[in-house]
Amino acid sequence: MNRRSSRTTKRRKISKRAKRAKRLFTGFICALIICVSGSAFLVSAQGLSDYDTHTYYKSIEIQKGDTLWDIARQTKPADCGSTAEYVQVLKDMNRLGSDDIQSGRHLIVACNM
């Protein structure tokens, strides 16, 4: 009887240790996930504060005598680079195959606010 109770006591101790180890491991993993999530949130929030301008888009009507290059010079955002790059952006945005535009049509352009 003594041996049986001794074995049972050992099993209980081992079982308690295993449960304690599982709880400790689970707690560690939860703390790690919280730390990683929190740091990712802070990095994301800091990255957003660097940009104080937003790019909006508007539709303009092409007037007689307008060229794509003239419109690009007038509407190019400051952070866009060269006028040639912005002309390409306008062509891509408006699905234009060339620089040719027609009066009376509409063109989507970027504008900073």
Q: Give the domain extent around 78.
A: 55-112
Instruction: Kindly report the CATH number assigned to the domain that includes residue 93.
Output: 3.10.350.10
DSSP string, 62-82: PPTT--HHHHHHHH--GGG--
pLDDT at 43 (0 to 100): 60
Q: Residue 89 has which token pair?
A: 């952006």
Query: Averaged over 3-12, what is the pLDDT?
Result: 71
Nearest to 101 by CA among 77, 57, 71, 58: 71
Evaluate if residue 4 carries a pLDDT over 90. Answer: no
Residues 60 and 39 reside in one and the same domain: no
Residues 96 and 74 reside in one and the same domain: yes
Evaluate if residue 105 carries a pLDDT over 90. Answer: yes
Per-residue pLDDT of 43-101, as tens digits, reads 655 555 445 567 788 999 999 999 999 999 998 888 788 999 999 999 999 999 999 99
Residues 47 and 59 reside in one and the same domain: no
Residues 31 and 61 reside in one and the same domain: no
CA dist 42 and 44 (Å) reads: 5
pLDDT at 46 (0 to 100): 53
